[in-house]
Amino acid sequence: MADIFICILKRDLRLAFRRWSELATPLIFFVIIASLFPLAASPDEAQLRSTGAAVLWMSALLSSLLALDGLFRADAEDGSMEQLILGPAPLGLVVLAKIVAHWSVSGVPLLVLAPVLALSFYLPLTALPGLVAALALATPTLSVLAAIGAALTVSLRAGGTIIGLLILPLTGPVLIFGTRATELAALGEPLAGPLYLLAALAVLSVSLGPVITAAAVRTALE
């Protein structure tokens, strides 16, 4: 089992790096949205500090949606998804490996970029560990949600935009607890509460999400 998980993980990472431009687009998108926002609002320090958490989280959310459209599409189009469905491993495990691979090339860079951008919103340095922790717990949930959306829309031609309509309403809890944790961190208050809730959401989505995604992929390709 572990062999197959690692085998898929390695394959997807290798493929991701061969298509690095697809990889970079959502990240650049994230940076651009987050840095355009202060131009639209006033560059006043107090105001930026109060909206910074919300802007960072919204841009992270949108960029992670942008990243996930290709998760199953390429494999479905060249027939390798059929081969994975027929393979000797439970499809849920294969899907989990694909989500993990995608998270490590789309979620992890976000963890690195977010603190840098946070500084441009005058978030105090002491708030950065809290922000990174909250993002580290939230991005797996976002990846799983977007994977479910990607699987449901894999057979549709204009899947990319529909994923947003399907998934964005479901990201509410992540957004609420994520921004709350960031705000608390910025105020220097204890933020364990929202972090625990984010962790609970991550456990829920990582344990149930792959099974749902696998069922959706199987149905979409039937």
Partner 1 sequence: MLTVTSLEVWRGESCLLRDLSFELLPGQTALITGPNGSGKTSLLRVLAGLALPFAGRTQWCGTKVHRLAPETRSEIAYLGHRDGLKNELTAEGNLQFTRDFWNGRDEIDRILDELRLKPFRRREVRRLSAGQRRRLALGCLRLKPARLWLLDEPLTNLDDKGVGVMQTWLQHHTGAGGLAAVSTHQPGRLTGSLAIEL
> Residue numbers of the site for partner 1 (CB under 8 A)?
3-4, 7-8, 11, 14-15, 18-19, 77-80, 82-90, 221-222
User: Taking the complex as a whole, how short is the minimal distance between the CB of residue 77 and partner 1, in angstroms?
Assistant: 7
Residue whose CB is less far from partner 1, 27 or 94: 94
Pick from 81, 129, 126, 134: which is nearest to 107 by CA? 134
Residue whose CB is less far from partner 1, 7 or 54: 7
Residue whose CB is less far from partner 1, 3 or 39: 3
Contact between 191 and 185 (Cβ < 8 Å): yes
User: Taking the complex as a whole, how short is the minimal distance between the CB of residue 27 and partner 1, in angstroms?
Assistant: 20
Contact between 216 and 152 (Cβ < 8 Å): yes
How far is 210 from 48, CA to CA, in rounded Å? 38
Residue whose CB is less far from partner 1, 6 or 165: 6
User: Taking the complex as a whole, how short is the minimal distance between the CB of residue 143 and partner 1, in angstroms?
Assistant: 21
How far is 151 from 20, CA to CA, in rounded Å? 22
Residue whose CB is less far from partner 1, 14 or 161: 14
How far is 91 from 214, CA to CA, in rounded Å? 6
Alpha helices in 19-156 (DSSP H): 20-40, 45-68, 70-77, 80-85, 91-120, 128-152
User: Taking the complex as a whole, how short is the minimal distance between the CB of residue 21 and partner 1, in angstroms?
Assistant: 12
Contact between 41 and 47 (Cβ < 8 Å): yes
How far is 160 from 132, CA to CA, in rounded Å? 27
User: Taking the complex as a whole, how short is the minimal distance between the CB of residue 11 and partner 1, in angstroms?
Assistant: 5
Residue whose CB is less far from partner 1, 134 or 154: 154
User: Taking the complex as a whole, how short is the minimal distance between the CB of residue 25 and partner 1, in angstroms?
Assistant: 17
What residue type is 153 in one-letter code? Answer: T
